[in-house]
Chains A and B, each alone.
Chain A
Amino acid sequence: MKFPRAAAIMQRPALAAGATITLLLAMVALVSLVWTPYPYTDMNIAMRLQPPSARHWLGTDQFGRDILSMLMAGSRNSFAVGFVAVGIGLGIGVALGTTAAVRGGIVDDVVMRLADFTFAFPAVLSAIMITAWLGPGAVNAIIAIGIFNIPVFARLSRGSALQVLSRDFILAARAAGKGMARITVEHVLPNIAGILVVQATIQFALAILAEAGLAYLGLGTQPPNPSWGRMLNEAQTFMHRSPWLAIFPGAAIALAVLGFNLLGDGLRDLIDPKLRRARS
């Protein structure tokens, strides 16, 4: 896969917007590791429920914690969940999917029926089931979200791998005496990498949303570690008097999901013509 040039990105406003938002959020997450306006766990009950001001740009919550600091630290949490959960899905899913494609037969059937089985449960519902079983917490939420990512990547990589496997250069490689494992690594994976990256970006957005959902239900990240979803949950009963408590984390979640979706869509548009050309 050849990387698109910067100019090609700028010609696509959606892609540019998505990339900008994603990069900004990633920077915020990185900055929060070394600096936030206030320590995000610092409570100051005397300063509780302050509206946005010069001192607290986004106001304070019911314990007097700085919302901006919590949002910044929360972005770290969202990114961590996204990376690890998508990583689990990508790693296990692609391995299963390409194996199914290459081996075919009973292996293919078993893997695909398992994927169907996992798909039969709505993603967030299965994540709730898994956290109910493993107990609430950030790590378990990540595992739960990762597990429902597996069939997504398994199916996608199987379908794409089958297309690649039917092409002439694979035949040539086999004629040259390469084993199937080597062919998979050297020819199949590079050819499906583009579409996997696109899917990973979209799954990243879904993972952030799923984590926020689980945290909102009290099944995700536990206090005092900040999480956008839990901030939203805690804001509920204060909505009437302090709406900013809900508006800012809600906006952060929306922005992150929008950013990754735009990025994913844009990348797909960028990569698709190439795939079409390759297929013909």
Chain B
Amino acid sequence: MSRLARAVLLTLLVIWPFAAHAQKDSVTIGQTLEPPTLDPTTGAAQAIREVTYLNIYEGLLRIDRDGKLQPLLAESWTVSPDNLTYTFRLRRGVKFHDGSDFDAADVKFTFERAMAPDSTNAQKWIFAPIARIETPDRYTVVITLKEPTGNFLYGLAWGDAVIFAPETVAENRTKPIGTGPYRFERWVRGDRVELVRNDAYWARIPAISRATFRFISDPQAQVAAIRAGDVDALSNLAAQEAADQLKNDANLKVVVGNTEGETILAINNAKPPFNDVRVRRAIAHAIDRMAVIDGAVSGYGTPIGTHFSPNHPAYVDLTGTYPYDPARARALLAEAGHPNGFNATLRLPPPPYARRSGEIIAAQLAQVGIKVSIEPIEFAQWLDQVFRNKNYDLTIIAHTEPLDIGIYARDDYYFQYRNPAFNALMAKIGTTMDEAERNRLYGEAQRMLTTDAVNVFLFQLPKIGVWNVNLTGMWENWPLPANPIAELSWKR
């Protein structure tokens, strides 16, 4: 090797680490659960949205980090005075990742697909009010509703209303194609999904060129990965107690934020003995909510008494309705004909908040005579057995969709709560355009769920984000689960 070559090589070796450091423009985000597919219309799993929402896919509108509605693929819109006709003006020059143009036909296709009887969309309520969709020209969509719908625009901003191209929609489970700032590159099952920047993006080209989502379900492995720098951020720490230890690390920032995730002990309302409201109330009285919060999430959760987020102005604090009172619980059980309690199974999905809450709740229920056997199951099994087939007694899960009280109006939902009065109330809220009146009705709905003790409402899931101090732009709260990579950048 010539002397010159050696000198060049040596120089390169010396400056290489600095050069690489200065140019860091990729990011690796760790999250607990792996998405079952990458198509958000195939199911309710939050993990799909955490990876794809605002990264791969975009909707007509979006929700920003403060929970506010923002225009996205729709530049602007007008609403007719009777609140029935919405006219969206679409953004021009938007292309899907496969190079095809985005236009009004894609919007029509996507919404009609979601409305179809065989649709697997987890949030069909968003599209249910739609009477017809017209496309007078390539960049205008006119949607006519059956009746005025207060939450219509809000629903269109969800990850379930993102726009697909008809040619590629079938492949979205494994090869997602959207209009977003990042293109899908590959999915190593059980490990990670890799995204690369879409250099043909219609808006500002983002700073981060590559993003990797790594799936780490083990809490200790998450801690090890962030400390070792294998991941630059953990969007939501699986084991809250680890926050204390990570706070001492000068390279990391720990941010305690909130989510819209109501953590509940879900009860199969159609299955005896849980079809008896006295039994459900007894369960509510038997559970010491604060003990669950301390033991399961190290005190980081906000207690809730109904299925509603304390962040919302319509929230009613009903945590005092069923105070912890084992004697009262036993009396209610005796009244319902179970003086000696009964046996039940508690199926627990993998997140530590669920497994730990489950152990505590099983011990608390044992105090009043309800002998609970715990069955830990994988998330795919949970979706199949509990969520789809309603084959369970009790389970614990956080419902992370914002403003999702409407799920109680679905008679075939896995709680199997059937109350025509509640359904009527929800329908009324849907058509109420006045915000104050709508909030009042939401309050009424919350009280109804608590009175019926449909589920045991435990706590609002915290979002404990941990990231490198030099990484800016991560969402501190989750108005809905999302990690928009385009908002991230590295400090110089």
Interface set of A (CB-CB < 8 Å, partner B): 41-43, 45, 48, 62-64, 136, 218, 222-224, 236-241
User: For the complex, what is the distance from the CA of A48 to the CA of B241, rounded to whole Å?
Assistant: 12
Partner of A43, one of B358, B360, B374: B360
The contact sample of 19 A-B pairs, CB cut-off 8 A, is: A41-B366, A42-B363, A43-B364, A45-B294, A45-B360, A48-B295, A62-B241, A63-B356, A136-B376, A222-B376, A223-B362, A224-B359, A224-B362, A224-B363, A224-B374, A236-B220, A240-B244, A241-B244, A241-B245
Q: Is the CB of A43 within 8 A of B363?
A: yes
User: For the complex, what is the distance from the CA of A62 to the CA of B242, rounded to whole Å?
Assistant: 13
Q: Is the CB of B241 within 8 A of A238?
A: yes
- Scan residues 389-429 of chain B and give those whose CB is less than 8 A from a CB of chain A: none
Give the residues in chain B near A238, CB-CB below 8 Å.
241
Give the residues in chain B near A136, CB-CB below 8 Å.
376
User: For the complex, what is the distance from the CA of A228 to the CA of B239, rounded to whole Å?
Assistant: 21
Give the residues in chain B near A240, CB-CB below 8 Å.
242, 244-245
CB A72 to nearest CB in B, in angstroms, measures 18
A236-B359 contact given A43-B295, A45-B291, CB 8 Å threshold: no
Give the residues in chain A near B242, CB-CB below 8 Å.
237, 240
Give the residues in chain B near A43, CB-CB below 8 Å.
291, 295, 360, 363-364
Instruction: Tell me the count of chain B residues lying within 8 A, CB to CB, of chain A.
Output: 26
6 pairs of A and B residues whose beta carbons are closest in the complex? A240-B245, A45-B291, A237-B239, A236-B220, A237-B219, A45-B294
CB B243 to nearest CB in A, in angstroms, measures 10
User: For the complex, what is the distance from the CA of A221 to the CA of B300, rounded to whole Å?
Assistant: 29
User: For the complex, what is the distance from the CA of A136 to the CA of B288, rounded to whole Å?
Assistant: 29
Q: Is the CB of B360 within 8 A of A63?
A: yes
User: For the complex, what is the distance from the CA of A128 to the CA of B257, rounded to whole Å?
Assistant: 38
- Scan residues 362-387 of chain B and give those whose CB is less than 8 A from a CB of chain A: 362-364, 366, 373-376
User: For the complex, what is the distance from the CA of A218 to the CA of B350, rounded to whole Å?
Assistant: 10
Q: Is B314 an interface residue (CB 8 A)?
A: no
A63-B295 contact given A41-B363, A41-B366, A223-B362, CB 8 Å threshold: yes
CB B97 to nearest CB in A, in angstroms, measures 38
CB A236 to nearest CB in B, in angstroms, measures 4
Q: Is the CB of B362 within 8 A of A45?
A: no
User: For the complex, what is the distance from the CA of A14 to the CA of B400, rounded to whole Å?
Assistant: 58
User: For the complex, what is the distance from the CA of A236 to the CA of B352, rounded to whole Å?
Assistant: 12
Identify the interface centre among A41, A45, A48, A222: most chain B CB within 10 Å of its CB: A45
CB B237 to nearest CB in A, in angstroms, measures 10
Q: Is B231 an interface residue (CB 8 A)?
A: no
A236-B219 contact given A43-B291, A63-B295, CB 8 Å threshold: yes
Give the residues in chain A near B294, CB-CB below 8 Å.
45, 48
Q: Is B223 an interface residue (CB 8 A)?
A: yes
Chain B 230-270 interface 0/1 with A at a Cβ cutoff of 8 Å (1 = within): 00000000010110110000000000000000000000000
Give the residues in chain A near B373, CB-CB below 8 Å.
222
Chain B 196-240 interface 0/1 with A at a Cβ cutoff of 8 Å (1 = within): 000000000000000000000001100100000000000000010
Q: Is the CB of A63 within 8 A of B359?
A: yes
Q: Is the CB of B219 within 8 A of A223?
A: no
Identify the interface centre among B223, B241, B352, B358: most chain A CB within 10 Å of its CB: B241
Additional A-B contacts beyond A42-B363, A62-B241, A237-B241 (7; CB < 8 A): A63-B295, A222-B375, A224-B359, A224-B363, A240-B242, A240-B244, A241-B241
Partner of B295, one of A45, A236, A237: A45
Give the residues in chain A near B244, CB-CB below 8 Å.
240-241
Chain B, residue nearest A239 (CB): B220
Give the residues in chain A near B359, CB-CB below 8 Å.
63, 223-224
User: For the complex, what is the distance from the CA of A62 to the CA of B353, rounded to whole Å?
Assistant: 13
Identify the interface centre among B356, B359, B362, B364: most chain A CB within 10 Å of its CB: B359
Give the residues in chain B near A62, CB-CB below 8 Å.
241, 295, 356
Give the residues in chain B near A237, CB-CB below 8 Å.
219-220, 223, 239, 241-242, 352
User: For the complex, what is the distance from the CA of A14 to the CA of B288, rounded to whole Å?
Assistant: 51
Chain A, residue nearest B290 (CB): A45
User: For the complex, what is the distance from the CA of A224 to the CA of B363, rounded to whole Å?
Assistant: 8
Chain B, residue nearest A218 (CB): B376
User: For the complex, what is the distance from the CA of A218 to the CA of B348, rounded to whole Å?
Assistant: 12
User: For the complex, what is the distance from the CA of A161 to the CA of B373, rounded to whole Å?
Assistant: 46
CB B297 to nearest CB in A, in angstroms, measures 11
Give the residues in chain B near A63, CB-CB below 8 Å.
295, 356, 359-360, 363
